[in-house]
Every structure is written in C-alpha cells, then in structure tokens.
Structure 1
Amino acid sequence: MECAWKGRATRCVGPARRRCGSCGAVAYCSASHQISHWSEHKEECKRLEEQMKHIDVLNEFPFTFSVEATVQVCEKQVTRCSFLSKRNIHQLGMWLYECHCGTSLASFDSSRLIDSWDLPDILCPCKEPESPISKHLSSWKEYYEWRCIPLNSPVALLLHWPLTIYHAVRTGLGSRIFEIYEKLHIHYLGPEKELLQLAVFAELHVLFPGLDVHIELVGPAVPQSRDGECITLCKYARCLSMDCVCKSSECVSWDVHTSKTSIITLNLRKGFYHDRYRDMAKDSFPHLIIAPNAGIAAYPSWLPTIELIKEMNIPAIFSDYCEEACNLGASCITSVTGCPLARPIQLNPFRQPVAVEGSALFLPCYSNCFLYGM
C-alpha cells in the first residue's frame, strides 16, 4: 500500500501505515501527508467508507481457491506468481501475462495466436458443451456447472473477458438478441492484456449459439504491425490431453436447433476510438460499445470518445477495477454529456476472481469488477 499523497510536494518519510480514521480505505506515511491530502480526500471519504462495508461481497467467489486468490493476495500472503506456480501454469501460454514477470505488452508483435490452456481437458472448456445454453447465466458457479468444469479450475482468470462481454450484451441489449440480430457487431475499446489472450474469445461460440459475433478491438496498445488484422476464431483454445477432440481439425459449431455455424471474428485497430471510428463504421456499425477496465477519469483521451458515443446514441458499457474508479468515470461522463448514467454502477458477476496486486486502496480490486453504462 502506497501513501495516498505520494508524489506530491514532499517525499514520503516511510511506509504508509497511518490509515484514514473515517473510511479506512487509504493510508499515509505521516500525519502531515494525511492533512495535506484531506482537501481532496474529503470528497471521496464517505463513498469509500460505504464501499469498505462491502468487501466480503467483492471477495465472494465459488471457487476452491477463493480465499487464496482474494484475501491472501490482498494481504500479500500470496502473489499472482505463486498462485500460478502452484497450478503449474506460471509463465506458460496465455497465462504468461497474468503476473508482473510476464512478457510486456510492448513486445507483442507475433502473428501467432497463443491458443493453449496448458491444462488437462477436465479443467478447461476446450470442446463443445454437453448441452446448449438453456438459461441466462448470472454467476461463475452457473457457468462452471454448465461447462462441467470443477471449481478448482483457474480458467475464470482468462474467461472473464468473454463472460464480461456476454454479461454486457445482456445488460446493454436485453435478452431478445437472438430474435433481433443475425450478426452482432461490438466495438471493444482500449484492449491491452486481452490482446495476448484472444483465443479465449472463442467461448463466445457457445455463449451466443448460432449468432455471428464481430468485434472491433481498437486502442493505442494494438501494435502497428497488426493494425487492420482480422482473426477468425474457428476452434476453442486447446488442452494438454493428446487424445482430446480439441486436437481435431474441425471448426466449432453449436446450435442443435438450426445447425447454423456461428462465426467469431476479431479485427485489430490501432489508435483512439474517436480517430478510427469512421473507418470501422463503414463495414461494422456497432450494436454495442464495450470498454473494459476503462479508467475514464485517468485519461483525457476519453473525452472526445464520450462525446462521439453520445452523438452515436449507441449503448455503451464500461468496466473498472473498483467502484470508486466507476464513480469518477461516471462523473466525467455526466459532465461531458449533461445526462445521468443509463445503467447505474453494478457489480460484475463475471469479474476476474484474483485480486489485483499493488492497489492504491485497501479495497480489493479486480479486473472488470464493476460495470456501468451510457
């Protein structure tokens, strides 16, 4: 935990051990830094106090590793590296980017799609489900039961990307998507780590059976060498079991009622959305905009994008690591648009179930933790 006043006028004098007596969410290295920060902190203190009351809800997951991945990570008893090492997936395949010692995003220039779970078939969704999806999934437990995955499997750490898309589509477009659309166009803003884990998006085949899904992933983190690249996800990410059907050359397909093959396509675009939108809209006008871990209040480049989204009048769903980041982002949106949120801040049931290390708050933070929309 860092001092909440770190990097300001005076240097910190030591570890941040002096917590705010009201909210308990921030800490300081000294009384002088706490006093200096109060003029800013008083605006958020009451909100943070309320959020601190819900820590148990944030940490609530159905997995056998939940305490290890939440409380123990937050208390620095466990690291992401040790969590992955214990499961023999540290620095392997798509897991390489789930800890600080993984390859940096800047080195991402390979055209080879990393498509291995590096897990046995019993622990991952490497093949079609035993039955088609029959109800709206509302929790990790329901998803794992449907996909016949045991609750000790860590695959939710990567599957939170497609499952958050699934939940955002249901939230932003409603439950009648299969009646209304034959092809779903999604504009996905600001991708970073997920650019290195694109194979997990193949799970959209079974989450939207018989529905073609086209996603435009646009952001400054897309390598220049891959700008404009189109990826068609025909197969699920593979397991380690050599005799598994995921090793076959056949493409995935699932809709027993219509026998329609769904198609999942991803287009990579480098740049800010407000600069690239008109190029994309010619071929892919969006039904929904999704911005994961958006950090709207932290980046001024969001302002022209928010203005554009307001002009487009398209549903947009944002996520962030904690509720306070969503509050700050919502404030930015309302100040730009002059309108309240169309979708209030809500906890994402498909947030990543391992806490983010090095949080600036005593509140636990998770990738795609909360959702809100305009």
Structure 2
Amino acid sequence: MECAGRGSRNPCSGPATRPCSRCGVVAYCSISHQVSHWSVHKKECERLQQQMKRANVLSDFPFQFTQEVQMCEKREVRCSLLIKNGIHRTGMWMCECSCERSATPDHSGRLPEGWNLPSALCPCKGPSSPIPELTSWKDYYEWRCIPLCSPAALPLHWPLTIYWAIRLATLKSLIPAIGKELRIHYLGPEKELLQLSVFGELLALFPGIRLLIDLVGPAVPQHRDDEKIYVYSYAKCNQIDCQCKYSVENLSQHVYEGDSSAVILRFHAGFYHDRYRDIAKDFPPHLIIAPNAGIAAYTSWLPTIELIKEIKVPAIFSDYCEEASHLATCCISSATGCAPTIPIQLNPFRQPLPVEESALFLPCYSNCFVFGM
C-alpha cells in the first residue's frame, strides 16, 4: 500500500505503516506526511469512516468457503481455496489467484476449458425449474441446485452481474421490456476474456432470448478484433459420463445467424469512444455495461462518458469499493451535468472473495458496487 501523502515535497521515508486514526482507510510513511496531507484528507475522512462502518455488510455471504478462508493470510486466501478444490492454476481458474501473473493467457480464440469441478458443484446443465426472481447468491445457488461449499461463484459473478445490471435497468425503465433480442456493449473486459465459457450461464438467466454482447476494450488482442463466438451450451464439468457432455450433439449444426436462443460474443480492440460508430452502425445497443470500470482512475473514460451522454444509451457501471464508485459518480456528474440515474448500491452478485491487493484499507470485491447513468 502506498503512502497517501506520496508526491509531496519530501520523498517517502519508508512503507506506509501509519494508518489514519479516524478512518483507518489511508496510511502514511511518516508523521510529517500525515500532517502535510491532512488538508487534503480531511475532506474525505468522514466519508471513508462511514464506508468502513458498512464493511461487514460487504463480507456477508452464505458460502461455507468464505467463512473458512477468513482464517488464512490475506495473500493466501484464493490459492488455499483453489488448491482445496483441485482447481489451482487450471482452466478458467488460472486468473483467480495471486499466481495469475505467472500464467500464460490463452487468446487462441477458443472457449476456455470447463469448470474442472464435479457436476454436483457447478451449473454444467440447464436449470431444473424456471428462473425465479434472483436477489442474492443464496437464491441463485438454490435455483441451480449447487451446494454452498462450491467456489463456482468466483467466475459466475460476471454473468450474474450482467443479470443484475439488466434487472436494474429494467426496473428503472431505462430499457424497454426485454423482447427476443437484447444488445449489450460490454466495456473494458480483462479477466473475462479468460473465462468466456462461464458466459454460457446467460442461457439459463435469459431463456429464449438472443443476447448479442460486444466486448470492447484495449485488453482485447488485435488478432481477435471483430471475432465472433457463439455460446450454445454451459461450461462443462469434469465428469466424463455427465449429461452435459451430450447436451448438444453437434454444435457446428447450430451455429447460424438466425438462431433465437444463443449468446453471441463479439470482440473489439481499442477504446469504446474510438470504436462505437463502427460497432453500432447497424444496430445500436440497448444497454452499456462496464464492470470494475475505474472511471476516476483513467482519463480515457472522459471521452467515453461524453459519448454515452451523446448517444443517450443507459449505462451501468461497477467498481471494487464504495469510494471508487463515489469518485466515479462525481466524474460522471461533472462531465454530464446530471446526477446518476441509478445511485451507488451494493451488488448482491459481487465476487465473494476480497481483492488481495488494493490501494486502500477499504474492503474491495470485484463488481462490488453498481451505479448508472
């Protein structure tokens, strides 16, 4: 963690080991940096105190594994869970722990491997009952008949956050009632590019609806620009004799433009404001979704926010913590002159393990808070 007073006249004297005694969120390398930074920090200190008071709510999950890993050292949480389940550094799990930096990303164009879990621990087949109203991980696990010891929620937070964003936009009447087709522009994908098979769960979350998802961002490799992938099945389990291996006899026979029940992923390299006109020349999106956006951290968001205002398409964003979301909504309001249409709120389908490396002592979770314009 960096010293909050870094960049002042005097260089830092060491690691940031002196947390603010009031909020406990920022830390300093020395008393001198803490004193000199107070004129800046006092404007945010009370707000950060209030956010810390709500920290316990963020870690309130029904999973057995979230309770177990609380006993581990923070940097070992993810590795210990994955090792216990036999999925450490395998398939789609490669980017779910601190070992990800040593992993070689697979951008070959094929969907990644399946769950590498027994069928009882993952949604490898279609649901056994119609989709109910889902408002929590407990609701989802019960509907998909998955035990609460399963770590499947770690990658599933991607499609479930899409589900929640669409639900919020519908409830707020930002988009019309969902028909046979829904077009989404999905901004800034990174880890998702290595976990694409989990997007097959959208088949269960939106039955009978054709979802066209354009994934746009600088992390998309140039050689995948304008590539299209059709997802017609759920990510497979690791049991050879499971029904999921035979659910689709021949996928190649089912890949055609007119199919009304599919998830279609299309990739675009570059920034959204540079690519939008080309992507949307035939059909504009119904909704824009930007997970873990980091709007306040990257100046490249300004022209994108201005574009979204111009085209008048509703957009749902998420971020890792409440403070990042607060700073993002301030940036959006400054750029558009309008308050958020969807205020900052906790995402019930945030990833259930904390981010291991964060800039603040605030608890951070992938897709933790959502808000919209």
TM above 0.5, yes or no, is yes
After TM superposition, give the deviation of residue 351 of structure 1 in Å. 0.1
Q: Distance in 2 between matches of 1:220 and 1:105?
A: 20
Match of 1:226 in 2: 224
Identity of aligned residues (%): 62
Match of 1:280 in 2: 279
> Within the alignment, does 1:339 sit opposite 2:357 as a pair?
no
After TM superposition, give the deviation of residue 280 of structure 1 in Å. 1.0
Q: How many residues align?
A: 365
Does the 8 A contact of 2:170 with 2:177 survive in 1? no
1:114-172 Cα shifts (integer Å, max 9, x gaps)? 13111100000000111121x22000000000000000000100000000000000001
RMSD, matched Cα: 2.2
Q: Which amino acid aligns with 1:299?
A: Y
Task: Determine helix, strand or coil for the equivalent of 2:264.
Answer: strand
> Within the alignment, does 1:78 sit opposite 2:76 as a pair?
yes
After TM superposition, give the deviation of residue 8 of structure 1 in Å. 5.2
After TM superposition, give the deviation of residue 203 of structure 1 in Å. 0.4
Q: 1:120 aligns with which of 111, 118, 129?
A: 118
Q: 1:148 aligns with which of 139, 145, 148?
A: 145
The alpha-carbon distance between structure 1 residues 201 and 252, as it changes in their structure 2 partners (threshold 3 A), is farther
Match of 2:256 in 1: none
> Within the alignment, does 1:136 sit opposite 2:133 as a pair?
yes
Match of 1:194 in 2: 192
Q: Once structures 1 and 2 are overlaid, which stretch shifts more, 333-342 or 77-86?
A: 77-86
After TM superposition, give the deviation of residue 181 of structure 1 in Å. 1.7
Point out where structure 2 has 5 or more consecutive residues left out of the alignment. Answer: 252-258
Match of 1:52 in 2: 52
Q: Which amino acid aligns with 2:150?
A: S
After TM superposition, give the deviation of residue 248 of structure 1 in Å. 1.4
Q: Distance in 1 between matches of 2:107 and 2:300?
A: 24
Q: Once structures 1 and 2 are overlaid, which stretch shifts more, 363-372 or 12-21?
A: 12-21
Q: Distance in 2 between matches of 1:49 and 1:148?
A: 39
Task: Determine helix, strand or coil for the equivalent of 2:202.
Answer: helix
Match of 2:86 in 1: 88
1:89-116 Cα shifts (integer Å, max 9, x gaps)? 1100000011232257984431221131
Does the 8 A contact of 1:189 with 1:273 survive in 2? yes
Q: Which amino acid aligns with 1:283?
A: D
After TM superposition, give the deviation of residue 23 of structure 1 in Å. 1.0
> Within the alignment, does 1:290 sit opposite 2:289 as a pair?
yes
After TM superposition, give the deviation of residue 2 of structure 1 in Å. 3.6
Point out where structure 1 has 5 or more consecutive residues left out of the alignment. Answer: 254-259
Within a 5 Å distance, the mapping from 1:341-356 to structure 2 comes to 341-356=340-355
After TM superposition, give the deviation of residue 178 of structure 1 in Å. 9.2
Does the 8 A contact of 1:212 with 1:262 survive in 2? yes
1:260-284 Cα shifts (integer Å, max 9, x gaps)? 9611000000011011001111233
Q: Distance in 2 between matches of 1:26 and 1:220?
A: 30
The alpha-carbon distance between structure 1 residues 251 and 19, as it changes in their structure 2 partners (threshold 3 A), is farther
Does the 8 A contact of 2:200 with 2:232 survive in 1? yes
Q: Once structures 1 and 2 are overlaid, which stretch shifts more, 95-104 or 204-213?
A: 95-104
> Within the alignment, does 1:269 sit opposite 2:268 as a pair?
yes
Match of 1:257 in 2: none
Match of 1:311 in 2: 310
The alpha-carbon distance between structure 1 residues 355 and 182, as it changes in their structure 2 partners (threshold 3 A), is same
The alpha-carbon distance between structure 1 residues 347 and 220, as it changes in their structure 2 partners (threshold 3 A), is same
After TM superposition, give the deviation of residue 251 of structure 1 in Å. 6.9
Does the 8 A contact of 1:105 with 1:192 survive in 2? no
Match of 1:64 in 2: 64
Q: 1:212 aligns with which of 198, 210, 229?
A: 210
Task: Determine helix, strand or coil for the equivalent of 2:362.
Answer: coil
Q: Distance in 1 between matches of 2:163 and 2:178?
A: 16
Q: Distance in 1 between matches of 2:134 and 2:156?
A: 14
Task: Determine helix, strand or coil for the equivalent of 2:133.
Answer: coil
1:7-41 Cα shifts (integer Å, max 9, x gaps)? 65544333433211221111222111212322322
Q: Normalized against structure 2, the TM-score is what?
A: 0.92
Q: Distance in 1 between matches of 2:264 and 2:102?
A: 25
